[in-house]
Amino acid sequence: MTPDTVTGLMAETIKVTLMVAAPMLIVGLLVGVLISLFQAVTQIQEMTLVFVPKIIAVMITLVAALPWIIGLMMNFTQNLYANIPLYIR
């Protein structure tokens, strides 16, 4: 296994990890910003107001994106297993 192979495998792993986490992180960020804006406009400074809508939005996004995430992970794993003979050379 050459350093280039390891670097390529690490880069692909990081890319897949970011792609899997991105939908939930983006939705959490957007909901957090919208609630912060709402709190600034209404001057409601309740710390716990952010958590429930954020959790619900992230869970809905997770359920909606789950087929895509599973497909991405299965494709990555299948490619990883298929290339094992190339990695051990």
What pLDDT score was predicted for residue 2? 85
Number of domains the chain is built from? 1
Span 40-65, average pLDDT: 90
Q: What global pTM score does this model have?
A: 0.81
> The domain containing residue 74 runs over which residues?
3-87
Q: Are 57 and 25 in contact (CB under 8 A)?
A: no
Q: To the nearest whole percent, how much of the chain has pLDDT over 90?
A: 69
Mean confidence (pLDDT) of the chain: 92
CA dist 59 and 53 (Å) reads: 10
Q: Is the Cα torsion angle 47, 31, 52, 37 positive or negative in sign? A: positive
Q: Are 22 and 71 in contact (CB under 8 A)?
A: no
